[in-house]
Amino acid sequence: MKYAIELIDISAGYDSSNPIIKDVNISIEENEFLGIIGPNGGGKTTLLKVILGLLEPQSGKVIIGGKSTYSKNYRIGYVPQYSNFDKTYPISVIDVVSMGLISKSVFSKKLSDEDLKSVKNAIERVNLKQKQFDQIGHLSGGEQQRVLIARALATNPKILILDEPTASVDSQTGKSIYELLSELNKEKTIILVSHDIGAISRSVKKIACLNRKLVYHNTKEITKEMLEETYQCPVDLIAHGVPHRVLDHHHH
**pLDDT in 10s for each residue of the chain, 252 residues:** 688 999 999 999 998 888 999 999 988 989 999 888 887 788 888 999 999 988 999 999 999 988 776 655 568 999 987 666 676 778 899 999 998 887 654 555 677 888 899 999 999 999 999 999 999 888 988 898 899 999 999 989 999 999 888 777 777 888 888 899 999 999 999 999 887 766 676 778 888 888 888 875 555 666 666 666 665 554 444 333 333 333 433 343
Cβ neighbours of residue 129 under 8 Å, at least 6 residues apart? 120, 123
pTM for the whole structure: 0.81
Which domains, and CATH codes, for the chain? 1-74+158-252 (3.40.50.300), 87-156 (no CATH)
Calculate the alpha carbon distances from 152 to 126, 197, 221 in Å: 11, 24, 29
Of the candidates 5, 2, 75, the one whose C-alpha atom is nearest the C-alpha of residue 36 is: 5
Greatest extent of the chain over all pairs of C-alpha atoms, in Å: 55
Residues in the chain: 252
